[in-house]
């Protein structure tokens, strides 16, 4: 099962500045993208679980409602939590889910936010999303949740 293999990998959400030219109208995400245009950093998924669609689900996303499942399914739930101090003062215009990232051996085990220079290999880009630019401020802890189909 693809979902089971994917869920077993280290999964990260990267964010980047993209291009200021996107501010008027963000472009359509390219299906051939292998990286973000201007990555600032990334965090490892705080939660990786399986999910099932449910009209009464406790996880509510724009794509629907879901319940988490201990049994593998073809849906993988991911939750990423960026800290207050991550990328403060930057504008975020792009997000990317990557699997299989490896960190350099010099990165401290206690570190949880990774700049591009901390990566030995960036991993494989599963999905990219261009968003309306939002400023990073130190009073907001950004949380992103996704349910990925396999």
Report how far residue 11's alpha carbon sits from residue 77's, in angstroms, rounded to the nearest whole number: 11
Q: What are the CB-based long-range contacts (under 8 Å, 24+) for 28-32? A: 28/130, 29/128, 29/129, 29/130, 30/128
Q: To the nearest 5 percent, what fractions of the chain are helix, strand and coil?
A: 10, 45, 45
Break the chain into its structural domains and give their ranges: 10-48+76-149
pLDDT digit string, tens, across residues 57-114: 999 999 999 999 999 999 999 999 999 999 999 999 999 999 999 999 999 999 999 9
Sign of the C-alpha dihedral, residues 147, 91, 106, 128?
positive
- Note the pLDDT tens digit of each residue in 111-149: 999 999 999 999 999 999 999 999 999 999 999 999 999
124: which strand partners? 99
Rounded-to-integer distance, Cα 41 and Cα 72, Å: 30
Would you say 61 and 143 are in contact if contact means Cβ atoms under 8 Å apart?
no
CATH class of 10-48+76-149: mainly beta
């Amino acid at each position: 099962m693809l979902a089971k293999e994917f869920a077993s990998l280290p999964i990260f959400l990267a964010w980047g500045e993209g291009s200021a030219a996107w501010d008027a109208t963000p472009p359509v995400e390219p299906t051939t993208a292998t990286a973000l245009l201007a990555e600032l950093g990334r965090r490892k998924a705080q939660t990786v679980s399986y999910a099932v669609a449910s009209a009464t689900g406790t996880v509510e996303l724009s794509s629907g409602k879901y319940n988490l499942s201990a049994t593998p399914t073809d849906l993988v739930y991911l939750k990423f939590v960026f800290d207050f101090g991550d990328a403060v003062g930057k504008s975020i215009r792009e997000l990317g889910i990557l699997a299989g990232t490896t960190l350099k051996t010099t990165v401290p085990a206690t570190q949880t936010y990774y700049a591009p220079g901390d990566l030995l290999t960036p991993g494989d880009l599963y999905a990219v999303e261009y968003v309306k630019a939002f400023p990073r401020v130190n009073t907001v802890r950004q949380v992103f949740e996704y349910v990925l189909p396999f």
